[in-house]
Chain A
């Protein structure tokens, strides 16, 4: 019993020392004066390290909203579209691999960020990549209302 308590406590102490704690959260913001709905054509920059086709999921989401979308590698600005979308996907292993955090940035053709969305879900409340992309994009577009 004593050994269990000590082991548990030491584990907790080690975790407290090594981690920054974690929780679920979702957020979005937009630069004042930005008219997101006026942006009709998008270029989604595929991250070189992305092996989960997050760029395609973002493209699918934007197409559903009625926009014209192309994906491809990073280009030298200005981009040939109304807006550029970049993203950062973070994955974690817990029995299976899951999408821990997704950040999506909408930028003007010169690369200046005009809107952003972020979702963070730990293992127990994990979501599939399409749902996570949908959640982030919904939160971004809510800012325009």
Chain B
């Protein structure tokens, strides 16, 4: 009887279980970075500007199911807009036209690893603030940031990469908003 059970387990269920494990490990590859994961926590602006701002982003990429986790333009813009609103760096984030200032943030470099236990993502984004009425550049700076996610953060590589992406973006947004809020209009 014991032999029979062992035989069934080893010949039928073990391969199925092993395959199921493999499928479970491989599915969910890959999930995109989320706006919530990219928002800095407990950010305190130097100045709270009474003007309004609109936010545009570029340089982001959509995540394909078989590719690496990426940061989309929409998610990055949402994270920046929500961070500005929450911290009150500007009085209001305006969708579309009608804002006092235009903030464009372009992701220029996303240095992502493909293999390893610790994933360090390095990011460079160009931040440009313009006056909406004249188009004059008020502030422009390239901001570099990075974040390392380890196996203690997530075992699955795709999840770990997403966390590393979000951490790098969070740090970038925190630096960007700190510099923005320090401006005197």
Contacts and interface: CB of A to CB of B under 8 A. Distances in A.
Tell whether A pairs with B: yes
The size bracket of the interface on B is 35 or more
A8 B18 CA distance: 9
A21 to B, nearest CB: 5
- Number of chain A interface residues as a range: 20 to 34
B182 interface: no
A105 to B, nearest CB: 6
Given A21-B66, A29-B106, A16 B29 contact: yes
Interface in A68-110: 88, 100, 103, 105
A125 to B, nearest CB: 13
Interface in B29-86: 29-30, 56, 58-59, 61, 64, 66-69
State the majority secondary structure of interface residues on A. Answer: mixed
A10 interface: yes
A22 B142 contact: no
A111 to B, nearest CB: 7
Nearest to B122: A88
Interface of A: 2, 5-6, 8-10, 12-13, 16-23, 25, 27, 29-33, 88, 100, 103, 105, 111-114, 116
Interface of B: 10-11, 14-15, 18-19, 21-22, 25-26, 29-30, 56, 58-59, 61, 64, 66-69, 104, 106-109, 111-117, 119, 124, 126, 128, 135, 140-142, 151, 155-158, 160-161
